[in-house]
Each structure stands twice: as C-alpha cells, then as structure tokens.
A and B are shown apart, each in its own frame.
Chain A
C-alpha cells in the first residue's frame, strides 16, 4: 500500500550549510496495517511523515502510495497533525467539509454528517472551534481527515497535546475507526505505550540523520491490555534502544 524506498532528506540552511534529517529510509506498509514510528526528537520521524504526505519533497528516493508516486498532497492520503489546526472561523461542520469543496452540497452534508457522527461530534456540528475542548477539537480534525475517504492516514503525534484520559479514549476511538474500514495508518509518536497498544509494527528511529534502527512486530489481537506483560517487556526493550540512541548522541558531542 505504502512504499518508501531510499528516502533521504537534507535541509538547506543559509550560506551553503545543510542539515541531514533522514538517511536512506526504506519501509513498506501493507494495506490495513498500523505502523508506528517512535524515536527521540530530532530523529526525522515527522520529516518522514511529511514526505509521505507530499508536504515536503524528499532529497533522494521516492514514496509510492497504492502504486502511484507521491508528488504532492492527495485526497487518498489523510493527514492528522499534533494540533487540531481547525479553521477558527468555520463551524465544526464546515471544518469537516473543508476537503470537499469540489463536491455538491448534498454530498458534502451527507459525508460530514457521517464523519461527525463517527467521531461523536454530531451534536456540536454548529459550534465554533474555540468552544471545543482539546479532545473534541482533535476529533473534529479526525473527522475532517476521514471525509475525503483516504486509504492511508498519516498521524503526526496526534494525541500528544492531550491529557492522559482523553488520549486513551481517543486511541480507543482510532481503533474503532480502523476496525470499520481497516485504513492503512502510519503513526508518529513519542509515547511508546500508545505505539504498543495501536500498532502491528513499531519502528524505532534514531540517529542524526535519522534512520530505522529496529523493528518490532506485535502479533496481539486488539484491543490490547496496557498491562500485558509482553507489551511491558517490549516497552523496556524499546526504551533501551532509545536510551542507547541518546547516549550515542551525547558521546558524539551533539
């Protein structure tokens, strides 16, 4: 479904200086799979997601979604950011319909209604974003991403700004949505528990420039118990990977 091959990214600074953010990343995600990218900040995981979403071009390599090369944002790929990024002047419904401008009015209304019901915001369709709580705003953003019916969802630390309870309920919610039509999801997070509960595979990224350091497959049925001993064991292991990464960076004087 999603193929990332040999993707590197360099950011050009002023005066010819450039910073390498990603170094030859290869990754394939199967249809319906949930893959998490975890890593310390600065390892390039968000950069990778932006490249997959067509927001930034890669310096080298290529990304294919459903066999087609990514050249820019596409309605087939939904993007959910860390912040809800709702248009403050539009109602929740209008925000949900933001990506549907090319459709006739009735179709827009039907789709946004369905998406808002799906995220439990139907009763707030006419509210303005600043009346919503953080969790509700993020659900509205999810509805906005769902209405275009993408086959791939990219999520960039979508729940990291929320409190622990809201975060857990939205993780469950995301799984409910996934269960309905098995969207392919690529999920950036720095919350290891979140990655453990949600993903089929976890990729640990580290280094500067970042690359995939290790891959964990989790073959447990969902929903998963957060206190599952197997998951706790994995968490230890991933934390070790990341600590090593931090130590290696310090040793290199970065």
Chain B
C-alpha cells in the first residue's frame, strides 16, 4: 500500500499557523491580512540568545600563576597581621625558610630524589604490565572475558589495603613501595588502552586491510596510532595515581622521601614541613605531567580535538575583531 501525497495536499492549516506561532511570544503585533500570513516579521535578534562574547583575556601560560600568587600574598598578609595562628598555619615565608633549611643541610634533594625514584620505577612497572594486559584484552574478546572481571574487581581495593601484604611479601624496602605504586599506575593505563583499542574506527582498520596490512603491521600502522590519545590519557591518569600511591608507600616505614618528610613534620609538630612537602608534591606532580604531555603532544598533535578547535576559533575571532577595528 502506498500513501502518496502531492505537495499541495499538505495539511496547510497546520503549517500556516505553525510558522507564525513561533513569533507570537517574541513579536507583537502579529502581521495582519492574508498575504501577511507567511511574511516573516523583520525582527531584531534577541540579544539574550546570542552566543556569549569571548572576553579578551590573555591566553598566556602565565595566567595559571595569578590565583596561586594572590593566595600566597593573602596568606602571608594574614600571618603577618596575626590573623592566623602561627603554630597552626605558618606563613609562606616560614615554609620557604624550612625548605631552605632542608636544602642547606643537604636533606631536601635526598627526599625528592628517592620519591622520584620510586614514582619513576613504579610508573614504569605499572605501565608495562598495564600496556600488555590492556592490549591483550582490547584486542581479543576472549582475553577480555578471561581477565577483565577480575581486574575490575581488584581496582576497587583501596591502596592502603595492599600495604601490609606487600610488606609481608616484599619486605619494607624499595620493592614493596615500587610495587604498590605500580598497582596504582596499572589501572588507568590498562583501562584506557583496552577501551581505546575497542574504540578504534573499524573503517580505518578496513583501509589497512585493503592495503594488505595484517597482524603486527596492522597494529603498528593503524591500531597503535589510533589508540595513542586514549593511551596518553591512561598514562597521565596513571602518573597521577602514582603520586598518590607513593604517599601511601612512604607512610609505611620509610626513612626518606617526601611522604616520610610529611609524617616527620606531623610527629615533630612542624606544620611548615607538612606544608612544604605538600607543595613539593603538587610541584613535582605537575612537572612530571607536563613532561609527559610535552612528549605525548609530539605524537598526538594530529588530533582534531576540542582544545585545538577552540583555540583555532579564538584566533579566528581575534582576527575578526582586528578587522572590524
């Protein structure tokens, strides 16, 4: 059965009223008369509906320092004026002084060095295992069914819960600490790589097949590059967790490291030491992420991402603004 409708048979009543109805609330009075039915009133665009105008703000990386600097100034001022109790919240200058003290006695580099060492090797180990298992479970649904449920369950175990077990198995020295960090790094790397591989565009894989790629060549030329953005996300998440797990690791019987420094500051009643190690964690975490991102950008710069697009758009907008001036 076919239902054919000539254009003139469209239920014109509906259309005739439907179109002007949109303007009913916006424009008054309605155009009157038969010919005016389809006349679209010349309306001024509603300013409220416009896309918000981009503010002219500097886009330099230094912008990120504005708020921390303001906080530091306010904090120092609060301490100097006696508004904040000095024994609970030491002034930034006192924190700097404590850091300088540690540095002068040659302890600071040791603490930073051993923490960096642990994070680095934990990150390395976690990344290797996460990459192997993530690739396996992403590529083969059989391996995914075999391994993924167990790994997802283990992911929910809090980091501290591993501590006694690892000490028991691996001793209180570096092996147990590096392993704990590796566990933290493992999960984001594993999960992102697995889902990244599964999300690779089947159409690109097909192009690979057309040009005779299979097996390792297909992985190297198509799957790996297509997965890289997900993998980098996993690595960054893993590194972040690595920095969290290093603290847990250094809480358990360490005699050196930023985590130890923090505990030491607490036990000896020196809040400036606690704050100093927190700031060092923030600084080192950010720097290591920056290093990772700048290496990764070299390989993932092709992405047509939101970030790239929005920056491009901003440039176009600037251009336009210049032209209208």
Contacts and interface: CB of A to CB of B under 8 A. Distances in A.
A250 B304 contact: no
B211 A148 contact: yes
Given A101-B217, A130-B304, A87 B222 contact: yes
Contacts of A79: 210
Interface string A48-91: 00000101000000000000000001010001010101011110
Interface in B114-166: none
Interface string B210-228: 1111000100011001101
A55 B203 contact: no
Contacts of B302: 88-90, 128-130
Interface residues of B, number: 21
Interface in A224-254: 247, 250-251
B207 A85 contact: yes
A89 B203 contact: no
A87 B225 contact: yes
A178 interface: no
A interface, over-half SS? loop
B1 interface: yes
Given A87-B225, A88-B304, A130-B304, A81 B211 contact: no
| Residue from B222, B228, B302 whose CB has the most chain A CB atoms within 10 Å | B302
A87 B225 CA distance: 9
B203 A81 contact: yes
Nearest to B224: A89
Interface in B195-242: 203-204, 206-207, 209-213, 217, 221-222, 225-226, 228
Interface in A154-210: none
A145 to B, nearest CB: 9
B2 interface: yes
Contact of B211 (A88, A98, A130, A250): A98
Contacts of A87: 204, 207, 222, 225-226
A116 to B, nearest CB: 17
Interface string B172-208: 0000000000000000000000000000000110110
19 contacts: A53-B210, A55-B209, A73-B211, A73-B212, A79-B210, A85-B206, A87-B225, A88-B302, A89-B226, A89-B300, A89-B302, A90-B225, A98-B207, A98-B211, A99-B212, A101-B211, A101-B217, A247-B2, A250-B2
Interface of B: 1-2, 203-204, 206-207, 209-213, 217, 221-222, 225-226, 228, 300, 302-304
Given A55-B209, A101-B211, A101-B221, 19 more contacts: A73-B210, A73-B212, A75-B212, A85-B203, A85-B204, A85-B206, A87-B204, A87-B207, A87-B225, A87-B226, A88-B302, A88-B303, A89-B225, A90-B302, A99-B211, A128-B302, A129-B302, A130-B302, A250-B1
